[in-house]
Amino acid sequence: MKLDVAVPLTVTPDTFAMVDFDPARIAAVAERLAGEVGLPADLPVVITVEEATPLAKVTLTSLEPLELTVEGGALEDPKRIRQLSEARTADVLGMHLFQARDRLDPAFGAPGLGEPVALAHQVAWDVFAVGRLERLGYPGQRQRRLYQFRNRHGFTDVGDAAFERLWAAERLTWPELTAISDEAAALRV
């Protein structure tokens, strides 16, 4: 579905057969987020939903155009199977759009698409992205993110302080983000 919006945005498929998702609702959430996150207004965004997959993996496959492949479970309401959850859609797409914006910023210095990222670094990046998303007014599930961070960085005061730095940060570079992560992980118990 191609919409006439500021951000050239496409959601596929045009109609869903296995889930009760509306591509226009997904596109509306993505369009709003793309603007709020600060993506370039002329950057095409393509969101492909794999409705046959009830799992929740999201993959950024390209930066120009920005392409996300989303397994259907990532957008699904956990209390209403096969139904779209706009809150989950905002959570999932918002985090990945912030990370795409980071990748598009040469000053951030993110690894290239396809380059391996250590799991602890990915978790730290997720915290950095979702903290910014929460400041835009979206639910951040802070305790869930803190627990995930602790599992990779340790249940320590240093780990908790690192989480707070990432969560509250407005601007970081990839080397700064990984240094915070590595410092916390070094004391993991």
d(CA 9, CA 31): 7
CA torsion through residues 29, 78, 102, 176, sign:
positive
CB 47 within 8 A of CB 12: yes
Quote the pTM value.
Answer: 0.92
pLDDT tens-digit series, residues 90-100: 999 999 999 99
What does the pLDDT average to over 31-46? 96
Lowest mean pLDDT among 2-6, 46-50, 72-76, 178-182: 2-6
Q: How confident is the model at residue 146 (pLDDT cuts 50, 70, 90)?
A: very high
Length of the chain: 189
CB 96 within 8 A of CB 68: yes
Task: For residue 139, say if its preceding peptide bond is cis, omega within 30 degrees of 0.
Answer: no
What would the mean pLDDT of 129-136 be, rounded to a whole number?
98
Q: Which tens digit of pLDDT belongs to each residue from 46-79?
A: 999 999 989 999 999 999 999 999 999 999 999 9
Predicted confidence band of residue 2 (pLDDT cuts 50, 70, 90): very low
Among the listed residues 155, 107, 102, 110, the one whose alpha carbon sits nearest the alpha carbon of residue 130: 102
Q: How far apart are CA 97 and CA 177, in angstroms?
A: 17
pLDDT, mean of residues 9-31: 96
DSSP output for 9-58: EEEE-SS-SSSB--HHHHHHHHHHHHHHHT--TT--EEEEEETT--S--E
Closest CA to 117 of 103, 105, 130, 131: 103
Q: Please, are residues 61 and 79 in contact by the beta-carbon 8 Å criterion?
A: no
User: CB-side exposure of 154: number of CA atoms within 13 Å?
Assistant: 16
The pLDDT, as a whole number, for residue 5 is 42
Q: How confident is the model at residue 187 (pLDDT cuts 50, 70, 90)?
A: confident
Percent of the chain with pLDDT over 90: 90
Determine how β-strand 9-12 pairs with β-strand 45-50. Answer: parallel
